[in-house]
Amino acid sequence: MSSSNSRRLNIDNINPHVRAAKYAVRGELAVKSEEFRAALLRGTSDIPFSQVISANIGNPQQLDQKPITFFRQVLSLLENPLLLENEDVLINHLGYKTDVIERAKWFLKNVGSVGAYSASNGAPAIRQHIAEFLEKRDGFPANWQDIYLSAGASSGVNTLLHIICADEKSGILVPIPQYPLYTASLSILNATCVPYLLDESKNWGTDINTIKESYQKAKDAGVDTRAIVIINPGNPTGASLSEEDIRAVLEFARQERLVVLADEVYQTNVFIGEFISFKRVLRQLQKENPDGKYDCVELASLHSVSKGMVGECGHRGGYFELVNFDPEVQAEIYKFVSIMLCAPVIGQCLVELMVNPPKPGEPSYELYQKEYRGIYEGMRERANALHKAFEQMEGVECGAPQGAMYLFPTINLPPKAAEAAAKEGRTADEFYCMKLLEATGVCVVPGSGFGQKEGSLHFRTTFLAPGTEWVGSIVKFHKEFMDQYR
Amino acid sequence: MSSSNSRRLNIDNINPHVRAAKYAVRGELAVKSEEFRAALLRGTSDIPFSQVISANIGNPQQLDQKPITFFRQVLSLLENPLLLENEDVLINHLGYKTDVIERAKWFLKNVGSVGAYSASNGAPAIRQHIAEFLEKRDGFPANWQDIYLSAGASSGVNTLLHIICADEKSGILVPIPQYPLYTASLSILNATCVPYLLDESKNWGTDINTIKESYQKAKDAGVDTRAIVIINPGNPTGASLSEEDIRAVLEFARQERLVVLADEVYQTNVFIGEFISFKRVLRQLQKENPDGKYDCVELASLHSVSKGMVGECGHRGGYFELVNFDPEVQAEIYKFVSIMLCAPVIGQCLVELMVNPPKPGEPSYELYQKEYRGIYEGMRERANALHKAFEQMEGVECGAPQGAMYLFPTINLPPKAAEAAAKEGRTADEFYCMKLLEATGVCVVPGSGFGQKEGSLHFRTTFLAPGTEWVGSIVKFHKEFMDQYR
């Protein structure tokens, strides 16, 4: 009896739905890039680049981005409240402003120790401040009891899909291309992904007719489509939806009784157009229709501290707001989140800081504003530099940077490249991205990891990495790749 | 058309497996206790007690427990690394010792910003230190690549059950009474819970014959039992297993090819007996059997920063170690955890601090040791005081406090109480606990929330709350309850 054969678990008998899930953002290429990084640290000499650039994932603080000082000063006091016994030292020797100290005291009074479990749906005082933020943002009231803190938006999506999907016939409309959290979570839940294509020719906007066709096709196949996911601004596309597009989606959701899942984590990462929340448009429609016909449209909107100018991915903070949900369903959501006890409390505090930053006139405002603008402008500059490089590259098409943290260029590769890829058992975009990594150390994600229109090829790159050298190395690689396979 | 009737989601069409899940630790009683707390804050005058005692959940820092200074000093520097620009101020004005500063620098160098995503299975440098801790604890090598950081142990259990359970026939042996995370997670996964009773007459130890009977019964019913959960020290029972019991479980796991899930989060909360890890005994068995017959026994062992003397629940830090797992299965576990990106990084750092605290001779050692012992002795004293009170109470039986953070007394209630409970549609223990809450403000969890032997009744209380007044109020309530229903 061989011991390895007699283990209980093997690849063929574990949960087949986990096995079926795909998550390319941290897949083979990412693993390979970490191997390169480790080899470089060991001083391996036969690697043709000197550093790995992780452009595969929106992880700002792994790269150039510094955290916002005000946020981190407050968090340092929450981690060590004993520091508050020496306010004069904090102020006179360490540059802490009085509003930092006041905010920390507010947290300690209203939330308590960050080492204690909070309420499972989040500390009430924090949820109240989120509601105030939403009221200001949207111009409509928000109810703090409809707000649920989560460990990043990913955990919120996981909760919502768990509630909505009842069985394998339950379908969720998911944009293609999409952030693969959605398809992976649906695989694991053994529910049905109902893909709808975004329109690259219209800056990756939604096309309501395409959505309707996908919905109808699924219906004909017996799928019970229950919800539609919208990522706005888009990931991987960066596109911001117009109010018209949002209205069309909400009207369709009303007609077909679909829950709307609005992934709005990039709401402050907007370079072209403006961010308009689904909540605002839904409340507007409710106001315009006193017959109540929109009062049945259920919306869950998600936000996170990981993106925007905050970029605090490692803290795993986020929330979702439920609009027009049934109280009995909300009670089940509460029960579901309570099984994992609560979201990280220090991450919850960061959510509060994000939605309630220093205001004009307050001691920390000037520095906060300077840092915030600096991060925003830095991202835009890097996005434009990268875009300019793509414009020079043969067979590469890429719209102007619109938002989020990504560019998602089309790559037109020669047939010989596709043949070479097939020989390695890869798609052409995977092949291209692997060669790019091996030649330059730049790790991007092939378009197939997000889904793309049949016959088209893309890759997603963040524009977070500092410097321009890595951009130059992509241009050089691309030319050589095309020369080899043209 | 009534708008509430036309919502898409209602209690009857959401995921039935979520609906079926039960999680009493934060259930009706907990919700009610929070309502009392809010009413007391509002100054409501018709409540017969002046404070709510949350003895329903092991949440030390919500109650009396102070965080360990060394840990929080390090974390404050990780949240605000700019403080390190003023080391002299930290040392001379704020009482930070040099080892605090050194540790913070080590994290910043080896882990990076706590605001960045780490590797999905945790920062390698932290996993290496956990491996060193395990080697010292068990006297056997540990491989850092087999260690996975998680958002508390709950999230680790969720991951492992997701991988192990393939379909509704997949069964998991779960102790009764148990922490309801297990039954709730199995409900949601639509897998089968195979309960086995712990032996109250033997201090809540495992009885291998009982386990075998449960296994056989499930097998006869067509269940594909794949794993056995052991909570050691026990929750809600506090019991530590003997090496003999652990050997018997591992031998049974070998015979029946069961994965062993060892929930060892209370490993330092031991008052009677000693903690012996499953890993140590398994490696010992492997050593004693050079024929390799134990090399196929898969073990996952879980630990957490939430319990022990650390008590940092709100930080959601934990890890699990895999022993003898198939590398292909581990790759699927990696993929699964990568979908949620990573465990909170500051919580990961706390795991490192827990397993690698100040050593004798280091500047922070003395204070660390004093705080650690103080928390331990305080818990033991409160456990003994509570136990003494239970001994005076009519019809209450409770073994001496053994460990964890809980007592789990048997309550023998008069038939009239059971009748009154039935009239309210409650079990007798739920009824008792609700009356206790309403009379005293003390929130405990009925035994039915954990499972209990047919015909027996219990409740679980933590012994974390400070003071003795609340203990007295339980004694007084119990006497009145018995007088009313005797």
User: What's the pLDDT at A314?
Assistant: 97
- Which of A353, A382, A415 is the endpoint of a domain? A353
- Given a cut of 60, whether residue B4 has pLDDT beyond it is no
- CATH number, domain of A47, equals 3.90.1150.10
Residue A349 and residue A385 in one domain:
no
- pLDDT of the residue at A43: 87
Contact between A315 and B344 using a beta-carbon 8 Å cutoff = yes
Q: Does some domain include residue A248?
A: yes
Structure tokens at B336: 């699964």
Distance from CA of B277 to the nearest CA of A (A): 21
Q: Which residues contact A232 (CB under 8 A, 6 or more apart)?
A: A239, A240, A241, A246, A262, A263, A264, A266, A275, A278
Tokens representing B423 are 């009239």
pLDDT of res. A3 = 41
Cβ–Cβ below 8 Å for A152 and B7 = no
- CA A391 to chain B, closest CA, distance in angstroms equals 31
Judge contact between A337 and A158, C-beta under 8 A: no
Looking at residue B1, what is its pLDDT? 39
What pLDDT is attached to residue A368?
98
- Choose among A67, A155, A312: nearest Cβ to B340: A155
- Report pLDDT digits (tens) over B156-169: 999 999 999 999 99
- Quickly count: other Cβ atoms within 10 Å of residue A103's Cβ: 24
pLDDT > 90 in chain A, percent: 89
Q: What is the dihedral of CA B388, B392, B397, B399, to 10 degrees?
A: 20
Domain final residue, candidates A353, A388, A423: A353
Residue closest to B140 by CA, chosen among B348, B279, B240, B332: B279
Asked, for residue B91, whether it belongs to a domain, the answer is no
Is B270 found in the same domain as B418? no
Are B339 and B465 in the same domain?
no
Q: What is the pLDDT of residue A297?
A: 97
Q: Which helix (H) or strand (E) holds A248?
A: helix A243-256
Strand, helix or coil for residue B350: helix
| Domain C-terminal end among B295, B322, B353 | B353
A116, B59 Cβ separation under 8 angstroms: yes
Query: Hey, what are A374's tokens?
Result: 């600096």
Interface test with B, best of A162, A339, A345, A367 (most B CBs within 10 A): A339
Picking from A217, A280, A271, the residue whose alpha carbon sits closest to that of residue A240 is: A271
**Looking at the structure, do residues A348 and A454 belong to the same domain, yes or no?**
no
Residues, chain A, total?
A: 486
- For the packed helices B98-110 and B69-79, what is the interaxial angle rounded to 10 degrees? 50
| Dihedral sign of CA atoms A343, A345, A347, A353 in order | positive
Residue A213, pLDDT > 70, answer: yes
Residue of A nearest to B348 (CA): A314
Q: How many domains does chain A have?
A: 2
Shared domain for A168 and A284, answered yes or no, is yes
Residue B343 pLDDT > 80, yes or no?
yes
**Claim to verify: residue A278 and residue A318 sit in the same structural domain:** yes
Q: Which of B2, B8, B56 to mutate to test the interface with A (most CBs of A within 10 A)?
A: B8
Inter-chain residue contact A154 with B257, CB threshold 8 Å:
no
What DSSP line would sit under A168-214, residue for residue? Answer: TTEEEEEEES--THHHHHHHHHT-EEEEEE-BGGGTTB--HHHHHHH
Interface test with B, best of A12, A18, A62, A128 (most B CBs within 10 A): A18
Q: How confident is the model at residue B459 (pLDDT cuts 50, 70, 90)?
A: very high
DSSP letter assigned to residue B56? T
DSSP, collapsed to helix, strand or coil, labels residue A312 as coil
CA distance B402 to B275: 11
Residue A5 has pLDDT above 70, yes or no: no
Domain limits for position A228? 116-353
> Which residue from A minimizes the CA distance to B20?
A332
**A89 lies in some domain:** no
Confidence grade of residue B6 (pLDDT, cut at 50, 70, 90):
confident
Residue A55 lies in a domain: yes
Q: Is the pLDDT of residue A4 over 80?
A: no
Would A149 be classed as within a structural domain? yes
pLDDT for the residue numbered A45: 82
CB pair distance less than 8 Å for B67 and A332: no
Does B259 sit within 8 Å of A15, measured CB to CB? no
Q: Say which DSSP state B205 is in.
A: B
Q: For A28-71, how does the pLDDT look when each residue is reduced to its tens digit (9 = 90+)?
A: 898 899 889 888 888 888 999 999 999 998 999 998 799 999 99
Q: Give the Cβ contact number of residue A450 at 10 Å.
A: 24
A262 vs B3, which has greater pLDDT?
Answer: A262
Contact residues on chain A for B103, CB-CB shorter than 8 A: none
Give CA separation, B370 vs A237, A247, A482, B125, B367, in Å: 55, 62, 67, 28, 5
Which CATH number goes with the domain that contains A310?
A: 3.40.640.10
Determine phi and psi for A445, rounding to 5 degrees.
Answer: -115, 130
* DSSP string for residues in A365-378: HHHHHHHHHHHHHH
- B41 part of contact set with chain A, CB < 8 Å: no
Distances (CA, A) of B465 to B24, B254, B383, B471: 20, 42, 10, 9
Interaxial angle between packed helices B365-392 and B469-485, expressed in degrees from 0 to 180 and rounded to the nearest 10: 20
Strands B410-411 and A259-263: unpaired
Is the same domain home to B316 and B400? Answer: no
CB neighbours of A255 closer than 8 A, spacing ≥ 6?
none
Q: Which residues of A467-486 are buried (b: 16+ CB within 10 A; e: fewer)?
A: eeebbebbeebbeebbeebe
In a domain, B418, yes or no: yes
Give A299 to chain B, closest Cα distance, Å.
11
The pLDDT confidence band at residue B109, using thresholds 50, 70 and 90, is very high
Task: For an interface test with A, give the residue of B161, B339, B342 to mutate (most A CBs within 10 A).
Answer: B339
Whether residues B331 and B438 fall in one domain: no
Q: State the helix-helix crossing angle for B278-288 and B124-138, rounded to 10 degrees.
A: 60
B164 touches chain A (CB under 8 A): yes
ipTM of model: 0.95
pLDDT band at A24 (very low <50, low <70, confident <90, very high): confident
CA distances from B461 to A443, B171, B398, B439 (A): 52, 30, 12, 16
Does residue A2 carry a pLDDT above 80?
no
Q: How many CB pairs under 8 A join A and B?
A: 297
In tens, the pLDDT along A451-476 reads 999 999 999 999 999 888 899 999 99
Mean pLDDT of B15-30: 89
Residue pair A462/A443 in contact (Cβ under 8 Å)? The answer is no
Rounded to the nearest angstrom, the minimum Cα separation between B235 and chain A is: 15
The one-letter amino acid at B71: F
CA–CA distances in Å: residue A144 to residues A132, A133, A140, A298, A367? 8, 10, 13, 17, 30
Distance of CA A92 to CAs A45, A186, B28, B318, B412, Å? 49, 53, 49, 38, 63
**Confidence check: pLDDT of B194 > 50:** yes
Helix (H) or strand (E) holding B378: helix B365-392
Q: Which amino acid is at A147?
A: I
Strand partners for A175: A196
Listed residue (B464, B439, B461) closest to B450, CA to CA: B461
Tokens of A165: 């999907």
At B398, is the secondary structure helix, strand, or coil? coil
Q: Does A299 touch chain B (CB under 8 A)?
A: no
> Are B176 and B451 spatial neighbours (Cβ–Cβ below 8 Å)?
yes
Residue A138 domain-assigned (yes or no): yes
Rounded Cα gap, residues B285 and B289, in angstroms? 6
Q: Give alpha helix (H) positions in B224-277.
A: 243-256
Contact between residue A84 and residue A105 where contact means Cβ atoms under 8 Å apart: yes
pLDDT at residue number A203 = 85
Reported confidence tier of residue B23, pLDDT bands at 50, 70, 90: confident
Q: How many CB atoms lie within 10 A of CB A28?
A: 14
For chain A, the average pLDDT equals 94
DSSP string, B78-107: HH-GGGGGGHHHHHHHH---HHHHHHHHHH
Q: Are A159 and A347 contacting, i.e. CB atoms less than 8 angstroms apart? A: no
| Same domain as B143, residue B40 | no
Nearest to A465 by CA among A6, A90, A60: A60
The answer to whether residues A162 and A28 belong to one domain is no
Collect all residues with Cβ–Cβ distance below 8 Å to A315 and sequence separation of at least 6. A305, A306, A344, A346, A347, A350, B114, B115, B344, B345, B346
Q: What is the C-alpha to C-alpha distance for residues B453 and B422, in angstroms, rounded to an integer? A: 19
Chain A positions in Cβ-Cβ contact with residue B113 (cut-off 8 Å): 61-62, 67, 314
Contact A115 B325 (CB under 8 A): no
Whole-number pLDDT of residue B440: 96
Q: Is B91 on the interface with A (CB under 8 A)?
A: no
In a domain, B373, yes or no: yes
| Token pair for B287 | 């050593």
Mean pLDDT along residues B297-307: 97
- B24 at the A interface (CB within 8 A)? no
Strands B299-304 and B318-323, bridge-based pairing: antiparallel
Count, residues in chain B: 486
> In the beta sheet, which residues pair with residue B321?
B147, B301
Q: Are B407 and B401 in contact (CB under 8 A)?
A: yes
Q: Are residues A341 and A392 in the same domain?
A: no
Residue type, A149: L
Three-class DSSP category at A215: helix
Regarding whether A159 and A54 lie in a shared domain, the answer is no
Cβ pair B184:A339 closer than 8 A: yes
Is A330 part of the contact surface with chain B (CB cutoff 8 Å)? Answer: no
Strands (E) in A324-427, as ranges, are 396-397, 406-407, 410-411
Residues of A within 8 A of B93 (CB-CB) are: 86, 89, 93
Give me the DSSP letters along B151-196: SHHHHHHHHHHHHH--STTEEEEEEES--THHHHHHHHHT-EEEEE
